[in-house]
Amino acid sequence: MDLPAEMQLLVRRMQIGKIWLPANLALAPMAGVSDLAFRRICHRMGAGLTVTELVSARGLVHDPSLDRSWRFLSIDPQAGPMGIQLFGSEPADFSTAICTIMEHPVLRHCSLIDINMGCPVKKVVSAQAGSALMRDPDRAAAIVRAAVRTAGQAGKPVTVKIRSGWDASSVNAEQFACRMEEAGAAALTVHARTRDQFYSGQAEWSVIEAVCRAVTIPVFGNGDVWTADDAFRMLRQTGAAGVMVGRGAQGNPWIFRQIRESQVASDGSDRYTHQGRQPGLEERIALIIEHMDSLIQQLGERTAIKEMRRHFSWYVKGQHGAAHLRMAGMKAGTRQELLQVLEDWRNGTIKYCENS
């Protein structure tokens, strides 16, 4: 598609520190979702950045051989820019953990280190980590400084993922973001919900807009991007440099392709818009098999099929007979059994519930 040179496209390359992302679209870090297989698929579909789920910095200090964390940390630099997300509360833990990462033959090829300051889970916040750091900007800044010092030696940018604030009465994303920039963060992600909201309610995109105005580093807007349209609205309304997609990508990595294929100009003109391709049944099935086989290669069949059940129910969500398919998928314990479910789906021989 030829576009006039003066047209500012909303989906474009994006720079973080010294690294260039091929697109300003990121897959959100999601525990239990963003496994390596899924991150690879999202890159193939057009994500410009993916990030591992949160991994404890303290955990890495106690497990320098990475035996326990390897599964969550693993990256494939050939697939596209992958970041590693760490959480914790002690600056020294981040220095040690990042040293371990930078000395590792594969992990040192990660594109960036992301620091989690948004996790709402009680166990994490009661250890002063995750979103609890938004109530302790001095500690948060010390963590970023320590991380930047260590990661900087390896030329890796440090990014920070925050929320709007702790609760409705303490929304401080703007001031907090400025502190993170001063401390050396190369980019930010703003999940526009407070800790108190967890994942409920509507994300308040005006907070993203305020942060974008307050800092000079690039900002990923995050929260409630479910469709390509949402992505364009977020980019236009907030002025964010990029969009990070979480739950909207679960079972739907095609969202990245749809966003890239429905390119829209920043002036709102939709002259060049066309609907991104929706996957057909064969493509959906092929992708499920690809995901399963990639997980098996990494984790072995038993664990992979267990992990795959969750993804499977997202992949079939909204499809004809989803409830029945989901039940059949849950019962599958081996690759062969899951392949059979897919085959029955293809042949229409899955028994469909009336109201599924």
Ligand X SMILES: Cc1cc2nc3c(=O)[nH]c(=O)nc-3n(C[C@H](O)[C@H](O)[C@H](O)COP(=O)(O)O)c2cc1C
Which spans of this chain sit near ligand X (rule: CB under 6 A)? 28-33, 53-54, 85, 116, 118-119, 161, 191, 199, 222-225, 245-248
- Amino acid letter, residue 140: A
Do residues 40 and 79 make contact, with C-beta atoms less than 8 angstroms apart? yes
Q: How far is the CB of 5 from ligand X (least distance, A)?
A: 33
Q: For the chain, what is the radius of gyration of the CA atoms?
A: 20
Q: Give the residue with the Cβ less far from ligand X, 119 or 146.
A: 119
Nearer to ligand X among residue 226 and residue 272 (C-beta): 226
Provide the minimum distance between the beta carbon of 132 and ligand X in the complex, in angstroms, as a whole number: 14
Please tell me the distance from the alpha carbon of residue 330 to that of residue 334, in angstroms, as a whole number: 11
- Alpha-carbon distance of 50 to 39, in angstroms, equals 6
Residue with tokens 């690809």: 290
Least distance (Å) between residue 315 CB and ligand X: 16
How many distinct helices (H) and strands (E) make up the chain? 14, 11
Residue whose CB is less far from ligand X, 29 or 242: 29
Angle at 38 between CA 315 and CA 147, to 5 degrees: 140
| Burial track 284-296 (b if 16+ CB lie within 10 A, e otherwise) | bbebbeebbebbb
The residues that are catalytic are: 119
Which residue number, 21 or 51, has a Cβ lying nearer to ligand X? 51
The least CB distance from residue 67 to ligand X, in Å, is 20
Residues written for the chain: 356
